[in-house]
Structure formats: structure tokens, C-alpha cells
Structure 1
């Protein structure tokens, strides 16, 4: 592997004719490691009255399970590990860039688009499995045959909007935090930092809830 020079704020590496953003790869690995450690820490010593991270994790998990039950019914329980892991990865990944010396893996469109495409692929696989291939293809031509173009455009737009929403908010937040830190007194960046923490959690919820919505459509018998 040959390490390339710095382009902008990204360290690139070239291998087998491919270019890799090492900042994103390293931060993604760190995010996964943090998620694993926090999950173990939150479940190792369970308390009847949860505190700290265990309290946040329990509330988030219960809320997501309720949403999956509401939107997917009993079938949604099979997807609980995926949804919960996705949410935790997004929360940690979104906030990682607020730590000096770190960047958020979700400030890279490749990460958010990859996550969005993963969800969309699972949606289509589940749709074919639950509805059958013929019925699945047929719904693209409903309610009228000319609607096939509109339906296909809608499917293509899903991963694009899902990924760009998350990418844009996280990247903009980190850029503004950096600019404010250079231009204004210390307390203003601190206030923006607190707001960015809130935005990171909200964006993780939005991405996860939209994923639940898309997945629930693939598990229903109707359109």
C-alpha cells in the first residue's frame, strides 16, 4: 500500500489502483470499537435504575423497539439488532468529530451513501422475500404502467436523500465549529459544540427512523 499526500483535510492511500480515504477508514474503525466498548459497558452491570450511558442506551433501544413494533409488527423484531447497531454507530460517529484531533466518519459522503445503500438493498431483498418476485416487480407499474418511471426515480432518490441529509448536516457542523473557533471568542464555539451534539443525535434518529420506514414498506403486503 502506498500512502499518498494530504489533499485538503484527508489523508489518502492507494492500493491496487483504488484510492482510500484513510481518515474515514480509521475513524470508522474507532467508531465501531467505541460502540462495542460502550455496549459492553452498558450491559455488563445492569441496574434497575439505569444511570449515565446505560440510561440513554435503554431509552433509545426501547424507543426504537416501539417504532419497529408499530411500523413492522412482530416481523420487525428480526431487524432489531441491525437497527439498534445502526443507530449507535451513527450517534458515536456523528459526535466523534467534535473531539479535537478526530473527524466524523459520517462527514464523508462515501460512509453515509454506503449505509443508505445497505438499507435500500436490504429493503429490496426483504420485499422480494415477503411479496414474491412477480408481485414485487408488478408494484412498480402501479397504479398505471407509465408510473414505472416515477417509481424508479423514487427508489433511486431514497439513498441519495438519505445519505446527503446526514452528510451535509455533520460536515457543515464541523466546518462551522472550526471557523467559529478561529474567528470568535471561546464561549461561542462552546455553545455551537453543545448544539452540534444535539444535532448529531437528532440526525442519527432521523436516519434510523427513515430506515425503519423503508424497511417496514418491504414487509407489508400492500404497495
Structure 2
């Protein structure tokens, strides 16, 4: 009862101090408890320092950031401060990197962190296996058996064991990226680089950002899944696998019905390539929308209301990992069992 009363009080307090309540009860001067968030869709460079300063609008002249801070703090007056703030906001979104430029972005840092956590989790469970497993070992065994059983139900036992390492890696990488972002979102939002202003230090680029919100990661996973499926298609059927897409046999034999086969093969080829796009934007759209929803709910009604969104995002992360791995298994099953009809 005390816990329920506490949550109800926090819910009311969150509504009052949030953006909606502040505007309702504080008038025009009402300031929300959480500052208005900035949504940056492109990933932001963190290292090297010169690219980060350029993305934050701090680079002046030759790019020496040591001269940038004094120039920003020398100007006084409301109009000058407003112009500088608008310029900083515009530059903070940054421009796409050039072909020859390389930068460590906040999403890449997050992907490295997820990889490290995965290695620690699974190596820690398998380092000293016991006949009577520990809790961590039992948890990992249950998860692995579940993923393997799912693969066997689609591919059969032999093929499932051959392809399990790649499928399981895709599943766990998507899942850990989604869940770690939810569990660490306060840290993700609190650590970063920025500039000083009238309202104190303002973060313009976060050190960590969920990797799934970067279009490059879903695209990379989609390409891995695509190449993986095509590899097993060629390995199983050799060059006969191409008959699925280039069915010119009946045309060469002078059969008019071969036109239909050519048309169907063209549709198969298009659908095969479209998988890359559908895989990419399904994962990217869901992860980005979830991140924006969590940030905006925290701004509008902080504290308790955000926890409901966290629960929803945990479910979405699990669903997306199952869908990504499941579709990879289904497409793989179609590729290896293809027969010419």
C-alpha cells in the first residue's frame, strides 16, 4: 500500500513538474523539471576531437578549439546570445562525414559497449561450467536451448546446428542493443559534450546513444543476413540456385509459357533485394521511435510515467530480435530447400 501511494504521489508530482504541468500551473514562465530534449537523428562524432568540435559548432578558423570558447563567452546581450544559441543548435546536428573521413560516433561507442557486455555475460557463464549449473549458467543454457529449438523448428536439427552461431549472434546482438539502451538510458542521457550557456552546461552530443538508432547498424545486420542466406543457397544448390531468379530455360526451348517464368524470376530477384531495405528500416524505425518516445515522455511527465514506456520498449526489443532472427531463418529455409518447379 505504501509503495502504491508513493508511486501515485510521484506520478502526480511528475505531471506537475513536467512540461505539461509546468505550462498549466506555471503560466508562460513555467520551466519544466527536465530541459527540452534535442533529437539528433544522424550519429554524432565523438572522436577525434576536431570533428566533435566541428559538429558542436565550436570550431573557429583553423579548427583550434582553444580559441572557440573565449569567442563564445565574450559576446554579451540577449540578441547576440540568441544568435549564438541558434547557430550552435544548427551546427550540433552536424554534416555527414566525407568518404575519406573516419570518426568514432556515439552509436559506435554504444555498439562496442554492447559487444563487451555480451562477451562478459556469455564468457562468465561458460568459463567454469558445472554439472549443477549456477544461476547465470542455467539462464544462459535456457536462452540457448530456446533459440536452438526455435531454429530446429524451422530448419531441422542438422541445418539448425550449422547455422546457429550466426543466427544466435544476430538475435542476441539486437536484443542486447535494445535492452541495454533501456536499462542505461539515464547514463546515456547524462554523459556527453556540450557548451556553457545562460542556463548552465548544455549537452549537445551524448557520449553514448543506442546503436539501433543509427541507420548504419540495421543496414549492416541486414547485409549480414542477406549474404548469409545467399551463401547457403549457393552452397546447397551451387549455380543451380540462380535458376530461381533467371528462369530462361523454357524461353530457350521455344516455349511461350517461359515468359511467365522469366517474370516470376524477376519478381523473386526484386523481393530478394528488397529484404535488405525492409530489414533495415523495420529495426531502425522501431528503435528510433522508442528512443524518441522515452525521451519525450521523460520531458512531458517525468518519474513514474516513464516506467510504463520502459516496459513497452523491453517488449519491443524482444519482438524485434525475434523477428530479425526468425525472418533470417525463414529466408534461409526457403533458400536451402528451393527446388525448380
Q: How does the TM-score come out when normalised to structure 2?
A: 0.59
1:174 deviation in Å? 0.8
For residue 3 of structure 1, the aligned residue among 28, 39, 51 is 51
The answer as to whether partners of 2:297 and 2:306 remain within 8 angstroms in 1 is yes
Q: Find the aligned partners of 1:176 and 1:21 in 2 and give their Cα distance.
A: 26
Q: Extract unaligned runs of 5+ from structure 1.
A: none
For residue 161 of structure 2, the aligned residue among 65, 77, 87 is 77
1:141 deviation in Å? 4.2
For residue 68 of structure 1, the aligned residue among 134, 138, 151 is 151
Q: Extract unaligned runs of 5+ from structure 2.
A: 1-47, 57-89, 189-207, 248-259
Which has the higher mean CA deviation after the structures are superposed, 213-222 or 145-154? 213-222
**Higher Cα Rg, which structure:** 2
For residue 29 of structure 1, the aligned residue among 98, 112, 125 is 112
Q: Which digits, 9 at most, give the CA deviation of each residue in 1:31-61, with x for residues without a partner?
A: 111110000122235464663x544433331
Sort the Cα spacing of 1:172 and 1:211 in 2 relative to 1 into closer, same or farther, 3 A. same
Question: How many residues of Structure 1 are paired with residues of Structure 2 in the alignment?
Answer: 221
Q: Find the aligned partners of 1:185 and 1:81 in 2 and give their Cα distance.
A: 41
Sort the Cα spacing of 1:148 and 1:65 in 2 relative to 1 into closer, same or farther, 3 A. same
Q: Find the aligned partners of 1:15 and 1:131 in 2 and give their Cα distance.
A: 41
Say if 2:223 is the partner of 1:117: yes
Q: Find the aligned partners of 2:101 and 2:334 in 1 and give their Cα distance.
A: 36
Say if 2:304 is the partner of 1:220: no
Sort the Cα spacing of 1:35 and 1:11 in 2 relative to 1 into closer, same or farther, 3 A. farther
Sort the Cα spacing of 1:138 and 1:9 in 2 relative to 1 into closer, same or farther, 3 A. farther
Q: Secondary structure at the match of 1:18?
A: coil
1:222 deviation in Å? 2.5
Sort the Cα spacing of 1:16 and 1:169 in 2 relative to 1 into closer, same or farther, 3 A. closer
Q: Find the aligned partners of 2:155 and 2:177 in 1 and give their Cα distance.
A: 27
Which residue of 1 is the match for residue 245 of structure 2?
140
Which residue of 2 is the match for residue 130 of structure 1?
236
Q: Find the aligned partners of 1:209 and 1:10 in 2 and give their Cα distance.
A: 35
1:112 deviation in Å? 0.5
Which residue of 1 is the match for residue 326 of structure 2?
209
Which has the higher mean CA deviation after the structures are superposed, 58-67 or 153-162? 58-67
